[in-house]
Structure 1
Amino acid sequence: MSATSLRLVAHGHTAALRRARFGGDDGLDEGGRHAALALSGLGRRASSGDTDACLSSPAPAAVQTAYALGLAPAVETALADCDYGDWTGRSLEEVAAARPDALREWLSTPDAAPHGGESVAALRERVGRWLDGQRGLGRRVTAVTHPLVIRVAVVHALGLPLAAYRQLDVEPLAIVRLTDHGPRWQLRLSAPPESAAATPPNG
C-alpha cells in the first residue's frame, strides 16, 4: 500500500473561539482572516502539487480558512466539530454557572455527553474511522478542521489513551502532519511556512 500524508490545519480565530464558546457557526473574525491570509503560501504550495486533495469541516470558519489559504476544499462531514447539543453557542463560563456538575462530568469523563450531543469518545470514533479510511490510499491531503477534532485525531493516530486529548493544545491555524509509514501513523514535526514569520498578532 502507498503511504498517505495528512496535513491537519486548525481553522482561524472566530468570535466564539475567542470567547470560549461551545461550537456554533461563526465565520472567521477579522484577525482570523488576516492570519489565514498571511499563511496563503501554504495553499499556493499545496495547489501547485504538494497535495492531492483539500478537505474541510462543513463549518464556515473551516471553509473560509481553506479559501484564505488559497485552497478549494471539498466538505467532509467526518471532520465536523463535536456536537455540543444544548451547550452550542454558550460560553464555558455560562455553562459553569448554570450546570457546574455537568461541566465537571464532561471535562473528566470522555464518554459523557451531559449536553445531549456528542461525547468526546464518540467524536474520536467518528474521526478515527475517517483517519483509518485514509490509510494506504497514497494521497497527500490537507484537511481544515477544528482544534478538538485535531486533538482526538492525534490521540487516535498515536494509540494514546483518550484522556490524553486534554494534554494537547491546538491553536488556531496550527498544522499537524501525519504519515502512515509502517503499521501506524507517525507524527511529523517540521518548521512552519516562511510566511508564518510575517503573521500579524491576532486582534
Structure 2
Amino acid sequence: MTPTSLRLVAHGHTTALRRVRFGGTNDGLDEGGLRAALAQARTESGRRGHLRVDDACLSSPAAAARQTAEAFGLRPTIEAALADCDYGDWTGRSFEEIAAEQPQALHEWLSAPDSAPHGGESVATLRDRVGRWLDGQRAPGRRIIAVAHPLVIRVAVVHALDLPIATYRQLDVEPLAIIRLTSQGGRWQLRLTPPRAG
C-alpha cells in the first residue's frame, strides 16, 4: 500500500509574526517573508520527493498561507480547519502588551493548554480542530501539502504523534519550515529526510 504523504508548511514571515502578536489582521507576507518564500521555492524545486506542484495543496484562510503556497508555485484550496488559533480579545495585540496588562491571564494561557482567558480558542481546542482534520487525510497514495501558521503545525505534530498537549510548547516551528508526515492508514509517522545533494 502506498502511504499517505503530508507536508506541513509554515507560512512565511508577516508583520504580526515578527512583532510577536496574537494572530493578526489577516496580514499577508511582509517583504522579507515573500523574498524568503520565493528563494526557498527555488531550492525545494530541486529536491526529490518534497513539494510538487501536482500535489493537492490546502491552505489556511490566512493571506500569508495562501501567498506562501503561491510563492511555491502551488494552487491552494482554502481549508477552514487550518485557520490560526482564535485569540479572542487578544487578536492583533502584542505578547508584550498582554504581559503588561494581564500577566495572570497570560500565565494561565501559557501553562494550561485548555484555558482561554482571551475568550477565543484554547490550545487544546485548536489541537482538537486540527486533529480532526488530520485524521481525515489518511488515504492510500494521497499526497498533500498543507500551509498554515506555525502554531497550527505544532499542534498538528502533537496530535499526529499522540504526544501530551503541553508538548506543543517544546516544538519550535520556524516560518517556512516543512514537516513531513506519512501514514500507511493507521498512525502518522514523522519522517525526516536529508536534502538531495547538489
TM-score (ref. length: structure 1): 0.90
1:46 aligns with 2:52: yes
Structure 2 stretches lacking a partner, 5+ long: none
How far apart are the structure 2 equivalents of 1:83 and 1:13? Answer: 19
Match of 2:130 among 127, 130, 150: 127
How far apart are the structure 2 equivalents of 1:155 and 1:17? Answer: 21
Q: Secondary structure at the match of 2:144?
A: strand
Which residue in the other structure is 1:57 paired with? 60
Q: Is the Cα contact below 8 Å between 2:124 and 2:165 reproduced in 1?
A: yes
How far apart are the structure 1 equivalents of 2:39 and 2:139? Answer: 33
Equivalent pairs counted in the alignment come to: 192
Matches within 5 A, 1:33-182: 33-41=34-42, 42=44, 46-47=52-53, 49=54, 51=55, 53-181=56-184
Alpha-carbon RMSD across the aligned residues, in angstroms, is 1.7
Which residue in the other structure is 2:14 paired with? 14
TM-score (ref. length: structure 2): 0.92
Structure 1 stretches lacking a partner, 5+ long: 196-203
Matched letter for residue 4 of structure 1 = T
Deviation at 1:43, TM superposition (A): 6.0
Higher helix share: 1
Q: Secondary structure at the match of 1:89?
A: coil
Which residue in the other structure is 2:4 paired with? 4
Q: Is the Cα contact below 8 Å between 1:2 and 1:136 reproduced in 2?
A: no
Matched letter for residue 27 of structure 1 = G
Q: Is the Cα contact below 8 Å between 2:140 and 2:185 reproduced in 1?
A: no
Which shifted more, 95-104 or 133-142?
Answer: 133-142
Q: Secondary structure at the match of 1:134?
A: coil
Quick one: percent identity of the two aligned structures? 72
Deviations 1:114-133 (A, max 9, x none): 00000000000000000000
Q: Secondary structure at the match of 1:163?
A: helix
